[in-house]
Amino acid sequence: MTRSGRLTPYLFILPAAAIYGVFLLLPLGQTAVMSFWKWDGLTPDYQWVGLDNYVRMLGDESVWSAALNNAKWVVLAVFPIIIGLALAVALQQARPTGRTAYRAIYFLPYVLPTVVIALAWGWIYHPTFGTLNSTLRAIGLGDLTQNWLGDPNIALLALATAANWAGYGFCMTLFLAGLNAVDPSLYDAAKVDGASAWQRFRYVTLPSIANTTNIVVLIVFINTVRVFDIVFVLTAGGPAGSTEVLGTKIYRETYQNLDIGYGSAIAMFMVFVILVMTVVYLRTRERRA
């Protein structure tokens, strides 16, 4: 192969790599640098503080409370994965008639702007005029009505439910792609051996879509750790900080308290958490494989 031939693949990669570097790696590097400084974002006065922002973060209970809320959100994110897988299996086995329409309907919430989703669920959760409380009253369960976004004990669950509703269609689409790649002869062989539907799902389907499952879990995990917009629109971290997550904490410190350095330190902590958990998850999956 000539030298120009060896360089050709890199030339195709170069535009995407340049965009990736300019819009992701460069801002990430600037954030890392700013985490060692104190700056209000307005004046040209920078003050070098070294690791002070990180030391302050370690002792800031509000940061750890936000991180705990992110952890709770990660646990709740299991539901859209399970629902997405169930819908994918059901659609794959359904009759071709109407399958495309159902697929589009289930995927629609994911393509809607998050602000639209947040506003819609805000009306659903409205304590007086909301659909949820109105329905509970109409069926005689008025005692179960709640101020869904105003009660610190259930606000985070309400937010996660809204976000999960928007995410199950995405999981379903990825699982469908994985299921369509499974060799049908594997199911035929399992049927010949007398395997039940559950046994075919457990011993044929799940192992065959293991790589797809890894991708879905990682994407959902990353999205839950960096969640921001739906929380910001519906509760802005309230009431009483019960729905504060790392994303809203970073926004609050950076743009409301004008502490760019401290906000950058929290952002780097979030990046660190994502990287560590991703590596741990992939290593665990490799060992099991």
- What are the sequence ranges of the domains in the chain? 53-288
Query: What digits encode the pLDDT tens for the residues 110-158?
Result: 889 989 999 999 999 999 889 999 999 999 988 999 999 999 999 999 9
Query: What digits encode the pLDDT tens for the residues 208-221?
Result: 998 899 889 999 99
Residues whose CB is less than 8 angstroms from the CB of residue 113 and which lie 6 or more positions away in sequence, other chains included = none
The model's pTM is 0.89
Task: Tell me which CATH code domain 53-288 carries.
Answer: 1.10.3720.10
Alpha carbons 277 and 71: distance in angstroms, whole number: 11
Tell me how far apart the terminal alpha carbons of the chain are, to the nearest angstrom.
37
Query: What digits encode the pLDDT tens for the residues 87-101?
Result: 999 888 877 777 788
Query: What digits encode the pLDDT tens for the residues 162-201?
Result: 999 988 999 999 999 999 888 889 888 988 888 888 898 9
Asked if 71 and 225 touch (Cβ cutoff 8 Å), the reply is no
Query: 């049927």: which residue's tokens?
Result: 191
